[in-house]
Structure 1
Amino acid sequence: MAEAPDAATAWRWLLERKPGTRGFHDGETLFALVAAAHARPRLRALYPFPTHGTLKFLRSGPPFDGGDRDMPYVITAGPPYKVCTVHGGALGGGATLEEAVSLVVAHLPADL
């Protein structure tokens, strides 16, 4: 599976559903979530990383260093759509994808 080299390319490939790339075969919920997240400039600056029923947001693209454990992510099963971090666990949920995205933005680390 091809990994996008940078955040802008990762977003573009997700929005285009580029075959052979991460997330291209996932369901409609992921693509609606990607569109909602892409509309937010703070999230658009991050590397979108769909994996195992989640949409994660990483500080940088490959190679991945695992230093994003404090970053919030959305679990795509829902509604409600849960927002979590690896370190902090559940942060809350949203009845809509837009609410979940707002919760992600509200819990982004201050150093971004």
Structure 2
Amino acid sequence: MRINENNHAYYESYNCKIQKRVEYVLDYTIKITKLKRLLSEIRKEAIKLKEFFWNDDELKAKRDAVNFFDARMQAMAYYTLHNLEKYQQQGWKELTYGGGNIDE
């Protein structure tokens, strides 16, 4: 058995193209590893943020509550205006102040 004393002979057997390809593949592998680590960190942060957002059921319940409140406010405004018109038509000054002047 022979011992190879020329350590550079193995390296020289690679041509320049293959060396560049190996460098590219190693670089690419490192980038993929960094990207996977970054995505893992993003996923962990996203799970923490999940509690700040509403799911579909909660969003629907909140929209229903807002719509119900809006409908009540619209009805209240309508009936308030309607009652004011009726008081005006029926002579509300006479009904409330006995026909006198309000400012007195």
State TM-score, norm by structure 1: 0.15
Query: Radius of gyration: which is bigger?
Result: 2
Structure of higher RCO (CA pairs closer than 8 Å, 6+ residues apart) = 1
State TM-score, norm by structure 2: 0.16
* Greater share of residues in strand: 1
* Greater share of residues in helix: 2
